[in-house]
Amino acid sequence: MTVDDEVTNLCETYLDNAATTPMCPEAIEAMRPFYDGAYANPSGAHRMARDAMRAVNDARDLLAELWGAEPGEIVFCSGATEADNLAVFGVAGGTASSTVGGTSGGVAGGTSRDNTSNQILCSAIEHPAVLAPVERLGGRAVGVDSLGVLDLDELAEMSDENTAFVSVMLVNNESGVIQPLAEVAEVLAECAPQAVLHTDAVQAMSWLDVAELAGPAQLVSFSAHKFGGPKGVGALIVRDGVKLQPLVLGGGQERDRRGGTHNVAGIVAMAAAAAATSANRETTVARVAKLRDRLADYLKATVPDVVETGVTETGVTEIGAAAASTTDRSRKIAGSCHLCFGGVESEELLFLLEREGVFASAASSCASGAFEPSHVLAAMGYNRNLDKGSLRLSLGSTTTEADIDRACSVIPNAVAQLRRAAA
């Protein structure tokens, strides 16, 4: 075996699907013609341009069906960051009257009612693509419980007739915890009926029926590379009746809601990936959930001082002389295995795992490689000793039994090595 062969073998254990997924074959095949020959600008008037626009609109129709929207409600953009920014600034940016710039160090928290006109709220665990715009507009954060689930009582207390915009992600990108979006909508219907509800559904598409679960939201963000599509393309659902100010002005594309030449190949591939994901979701979820459970249960059983986030221990069953708890992971998507190891640093742990061919992450992949304290774990109440040792192992449709075998072999040894060095 050559050195290159060894490197190739080591690169097989990819457990960072929450950051990006491998492109599925259907997406690759769908986009190929738009590089090989059908390259015309869809905004043009000639036949080749009309063919390109027809492909865009066919993709729009398919995505609308899969996502529970009308075709005209879909705004194509460059990905989830733009979609989230467009949702916040496009709806809330023109109405917020709080001080621009927000609070130092993050979105303001608190549970007292705020009577500031046109206030903006988001959960404390949102992706930075939501948190940063909300902070810029002087918005406030709603807390979560120890499982990472939004505190609905606090949301009700903070919401009133002056609340204009609320953002609550459908699935958290670090913990994998599913948020109760229908109950959020019920709270707002009672306390802030004029508020526009946005959800970042980026991590949900591979695992959940977003047409149903994101249905209560008037704005919904997606990114293709999280479910087998290419990077650099996404969408924002804007329900009929929601007023949206564009962030990108230009050629009037997307009904004047987002200017710029359409990424035809990306849009077509996103639709193909969404269709394949939806068709295979039930089988994928059942298979991957078993792999995730095996991985999490093994690591918790073999590595001391490790905590799994977003789960509850629902009972204790006597097995001979030992007691074993039953873990309830029903709040999490099937692909999420998020653990905190006491006494280790995430950066050092990830380095050792990479040397052994296991690729994972510590938290969000959008921090330019910086290992900063997780605002998600802080909101959930984790202390810094555990927070600094977080490990996000995210499985996907391509994860295999062999991947889990290697992770189970490598991770305990890496943790033990770091703890011995620190002793």
Q: Are residues 44 and 131 in the same domain?
A: yes
Q: Are residues 199 and 267 in the same domain?
A: yes
Residue after which a domain boundary falls, among 278, 302, 323: 278
- What residues are paired with 150 via a beta bridge? 144
- What residues are paired with 163 via a beta bridge? 119
Backbone angles phi, psi at 404, to 5 degrees: -70, -40
Residue 387 has pLDDT above 70, yes or no: yes
Q: Are 328 and 177 in contact (CB under 8 A)?
A: no
Mean pLDDT for all residues in the chain: 90
What is the rounded (10 degree) CA torsion for 257, 261, 267, 268? 130
Residue after which a domain boundary falls, among 247, 278, 309: 278
What is the rounded (10 degree) CA torsion for 250, 256, 258, 260? -40
How many Å apart are CA 66 and CA 278, to the nearest integer?
Answer: 8
> Tell me: the pLDDT tens digits for 158-213?
999 999 999 999 999 999 999 999 999 999 999 999 999 999 999 999 999 999 99
Residue after which a domain boundary falls, among 233, 262, 278: 278
What pLDDT shows up at residue 315? Answer: 62
What pLDDT shows up at residue 114? Answer: 42
Residue 38 domain boundaries: 25-278
> Tell me: the pLDDT tens digits for 20-56?
999 999 999 999 999 888 899 999 999 999 999 999 9
366 flagged as catalytic: yes
Q: Are residues 29 and 167 in the same domain?
A: yes
Q: Say how many residues make up the chain.
A: 423
Q: In sequence order, what are the residues at sequence separation of 6 or more whose Cβ sits closer than 8 angstroms to the Cβ of residue 234?
A: 76, 77, 78, 79, 80, 82, 83, 202, 221, 222, 223, 224, 270
Backbone angles phi, psi at 159, to 5 degrees: -95, 140
Q: In sequence order, what are the residues at sequence separation of 6 or more whose Cβ sits closer than 8 angstroms to the Cβ of residue 406?
A: 12, 13, 356, 357, 358
What pLDDT shows up at residue 324? Answer: 58
Of 337, 340, 366, 408, the active-site residue reads 366
Backbone angles phi, psi at 216, to 5 degrees: -70, -15
Backbone angles phi, psi at 68, to 5 degrees: 70, 40
> In terms of pTM, does the model score above 0.85?
yes
Q: Which helix (H) or strand (E) holds 237?
A: strand 234-238
Q: Are residues 274 and 288 in the same domain?
A: no
Q: Are 257 and 244 in contact (CB under 8 A)?
A: yes
